[in-house]
Amino acid sequence: MLLITCPHCGPRDESEFSYGGARRIWPDHDANPDQTETAMLDWHQTLYLSPNPSGPLTEIWYHGGGCECWVEIIRNTKDHSISNRQKGRAS
Amino acid sequence: MGNKRWPAIIATPAMRSSYDTVIIGGGGHGQATAHYLAKNHGITDVAVLEGSWIGGGNTARNTTIVRSDYLLNASFGLKNFALKLWGELSQELNFNLMYEPRGYVDLAHSDGELEHFTIRANAMRLGGAGVEILTGQALQDCVPELDLNSAARFPVAGALFQPAGGVIRHDAVAWGFARKASQAGIHIFQKTPVTKINITKDKVSSVDTPQGRINCRQVFISVAGASNQVASLAGLDLPIHSINVQAFVTEPVKPALKTVVNYNAGLSYISQTAKGEFVLGGASDGYNSFARRGSFARIEDVLARAVQMFPFLSRLRLMRHWSGTADISMDGNAIIGQTPIDGLSINCGWGYAGFKATPAVGHQMAELLANNTTPDLIKPFTYDRFANGAEIDDAGAGPYPWHH
Ligand SMILES: Cc1cc2nc3c(=O)[nH]c(=O)nc-3n(C[C@H](O)[C@H](O)[C@H](O)COP(=O)(O)OP(=O)(O)OC[C@H]3O[C@@H](n4cnc5c(N)ncnc54)[C@H](O)[C@@H]3O)c2cc1C
Ligand SMILES: [Zn+2]
């Protein structure tokens, strides 16, 4: 069982959260309004090829059982230790 | 010390500096591919490189269930072909795989769900598989201990029943294929992790191991939970996340359950071994993990559902409990075939559902490696289907591996 520290609610049980997976940095849609080939590849990269390290992973969790905010953490996928400054995210 | 009179099951040859084909990963899928390369194509200039020991990966960590009750043609076709091969393999390998087609029972918990199962059963019939929809007394006769009467939160509406589904002794699968491939002259090396895949002029040229470099014409990666790490040795990104999946075994009791039963309001599946132990599994732990250490929340979840099906289980104790790292793709289906890198093919993304497909994957991959063309059954499972929008998403869950 993970103990995730929410920046708003403090340390809370994993069961209060839903997993959002690796943090994805979305391509700048406005920079590529025409959906060119490169833009499509960028979307493919972001959506499907997100990192899956055996080690520290920057990922997001939704605190549905608390403040209803997305929380960003760095968790080591080998031993589940959570290392970082927990960061809240807008919506 | 003990067990010295047991003969080695595979040869331990000296490693050559070059092979035609290198298979990375000596689990069931890798060993099956080696076997069919020798048997169907007479190709034995092959090295299978296993990083730890044969059967140490997911092949001997799974809950041994085989079945082919899939909705989409691509998913169904491969697994149904595997069921046919399972029936022949104990003879072919001269190794008792203990394939027991005791029947697979997939429980539906509402009329709507049962309707959906009926669609799946009809799709399977069109593909030539035997399958029935069971309700009421027919279901009770099929699974006498199943609790159909209590005021359960998720009552059972009926079930999909596939008679050819069942269980197989998983470690025997890895060892049976390995022994046969070794007898045919294929070299298998344990404790030989691949640390580098070398590419010369856009083509695979060799792999590095702690025991030295091996030059080769082609490389086939089949490493399940380590897929991203090994593919990255060749600079290849994969649409896969690795997630922990657990399994449990109770103390043994007298025979009480013939079939394999799957509970679908949440996930919990159960069978009883020939020794009398109950083997249980459920959903993944739900987030990326290479820990091979499971969360308690999932243990409670799987056991609670098992007790809903079979209340008598509450009096049994767990004897063993373990985990495996499951490689789950963005559409929940496997990726099999050539990669964009010349001479490099891959088989991955089987998650916690790939044991049943072992011989079919080996059979088809051997054909690909021998003839350099992709056989029909694995054609839909291409690496580039994600970029092309041709996902094979049986569950319709989207690009969230932890939901598949
Ligand atoms: C708990 C659990 C329950 C499951 N239940 C079922 C089930 O009931 N039915 C079903 O069909 N499927 C099930 N599965 C899934 C199934 O076990 C796998 O899909 C299947 O066994 C994968 O086979 P494989 O040969 O590809 O993998 P593995 O057996 O994992 O073989 C891969 C091998 O690659 C090796 N390797 C890794 N890195 C390297 C390297 N760098 N160099 C060389 N070798 C390397 C590993 O040591 C390993 O032995 C379950 C999985 C788990 C974890
Ligand atoms: Zn919160």
CATH code of the domain containing B317: 3.30.9.10
* pLDDT at B299 (0 to 100): 95
* Substitution target from A16, A35, A77 for chain B, most B beta carbons within 10 A: A77
Confidence at residue B151, expressed as pLDDT on a 0 to 100 scale? 79
Half-sphere exposure in the Cβ direction for B19 (13 Å, CA): 27
Of all protein residues, whose CA lies closest to atom 52 belonging to ligand 1?
B62
Do residues B313 and B260 share a domain?
yes
Give the nearest ligand 1 atom to B28 CA. 25
Q: Whose CA is nearest to atom 42 of ligand 1?
A: B193
pTM exceeding the 0.90 threshold for the entire prediction: yes
Beta bridge partners of A88: A71
For residue B275, tell me if it sits in a domain. yes
Predicted pLDDT of residue A55: 96
Report pLDDT for B149: 84
Q: Domain for residue B6, yes or no? A: no
Q: What is the DSSP letter of B137?
A: H
Contacts of A45 in chain B (CB under 8 A): 237
Pick from A2, A54, A79: which is nearest to B229 by CB?
A54
At residue B204, the 3 state secondary structure works out as strand
Q: Does B280 lie in the same domain as B234? A: no
* Burial bucket for residue A82 (CB in 10 Å: 0-12, 13-18, 19+): middle
Residues B266 and B345 in one domain: no
- Nearest CA owner, ligand 1 atom 19: B354
Query: Which residue's alpha carbon is nearest to atom 53 within ligand 1?
Result: B324
Between chain A and chain B, how many beta carbons pairs sit less than 8 Å apart?
59
Q: Does residue A91 carry a pLDDT above 60? A: no
Confidence of residue A32 (pLDDT cuts 50, 70, 90): low
Question: Is the beta carbon of B62 within 6 A of some atom in ligand 1?
Answer: yes
* Structure tokens that stand for A69 in this block: 């905010």
| Pair B346, B220: CB distance under 8 Å | yes
**Residues in A touching B289 (Cβ below 8 Å):** 77, 80
Q: Is B132 exposed, middle or buried (0-12, 13-18, 19+ CB in 10 A)?
A: middle
Give, as residue ranges, everything with CB less than 5 Å from ion ligand 2. A 6, 8-9, 63, 66-67
Total number of domains constituting chain B: 2
Tell me the Cα Rg of chain B: 21
Our CA-based measurement puts residue B224 at a distance from the nearest CA of chain A, in whole angstroms, of 13
Interchain CB distance below 8 Å, A77 and B386: no
Question: Which residues from chain A sit within 8 angstroms of residue B401, using beta carbons?
Answer: 21
pLDDT score at B322: 96
With beta carbons less than 8 A apart as the criterion, state whether A66 and A10 touch.
no
pLDDT value for A89: 62
Nearest to B261 by CA among B354, B352, B158, B116: B158
Question: B241 touching A, CB under 8 A?
Answer: yes
User: CA of A1 to nearest chain B CA: how many angstroms apart?
Assistant: 5
Nearest-angstrom CA–CA distance, B320 and B189: 29
The overall average pLDDT reported for chain A is 88
**Are residue B153 and residue B254 in the same domain, yes or no?**
yes
Which residues, in sequence order, are CB contacts of B39 under 8 Å at separation 6+? B92, B180, B184
**Regions in chain B scoring below 50 on pLDDT:** none
d(CA B192, CA B46): 15
> Which domains occur in chain A, in start order?
3-24+39-90 (3.30.2270.10)
B75 is a domain residue: no
Q: Among residues B311, B329, B347, which one ends one of the domains?
A: B329
Dist CA B53 CA B9 (whole Å): 13
Is B210 contained in some domain? Answer: yes
CATH of the domain at B396: 3.50.50.60
Which of B273, B299, B329 corresponds to the end of one domain? Answer: B329
| Within-domain flag for B76 | no
Q: Is-contact B235 B361, C-beta < 8 A? A: no
Q: Does B234 map to a domain?
A: yes
Q: Give the Å distance between the CA of B397 and the centre of ligand 2.
A: 26
Q: How far is B10 from chain A (nearest CA, A)?
A: 31
Tell how strand B132-134 and strand A70-76 pair up. unpaired
If asked whether residues B53 and B185 sit together in one domain, one would say: yes
State the pLDDT at residue B205: 98
Protein residue closest via CA to atom 35 of ligand 1: B25
Give yes or no: residues B219 and B343 share one domain: yes
Give me ligand 1 centre to Cα B358, in Å: 10
Asked which of B329, B361, B377 is the last residue of a domain, the reply is B329
* CA atoms of B129 and B197, how far apart (whole Å): 41
Rounded to a whole number of angstroms, the distance from the CA of B108 to the nearest CA of chain A is: 25
Three-state DSSP class for residue A47: helix
Instruction: Give the per-residue pLDDT at B153.
Output: 83
Query: Is B182 inside any structural domain?
Result: yes
Element (H, E) at B162: strand B158-162
**Rounded-to-integer distance, Cα B270 and Cα B130, Å:** 22
Q: Which stretches of B342-385 are assigned E, i.e. beta strand?
A: 344-348
From the CA of B175, the nearest ligand is: 1
pLDDT at B73: 95
Asked if B57 and B196 sit in the same domain, the reply is: yes
Contacting residues for B112 by C-beta, under 8 A, at least 6 apart = none
- The verdict on residue B397 lying in a domain is yes
Q: Which amino acid is at B221?
A: I
CB count in 10 Å sphere of residue B211 = 13
Domain that holds residue B148: 101-164+242-329
| Beta carbons of B387 and A19 less than 8 Å apart | no
CA-CA-CA-CA dihedral for B395, B397, B401, B404, to nearest 10: -30
Partner A contacted by B53 (CB < 8 A): no
Same domain, B195 and B282: no
pLDDT digits (tens, 9 = 90+) for A37-76: 777 888 899 999 999 999 999 999 999 999 999 999 999 9
Give yes or no for a contact between B301 and B93, defined as CB atoms under 8 angstroms apart. no
Residue B330 CA to ligand 1 center (angstroms) comes to 18
Which residues on B lie below 8 Å from A1 (Cβ)?
A: 295-297
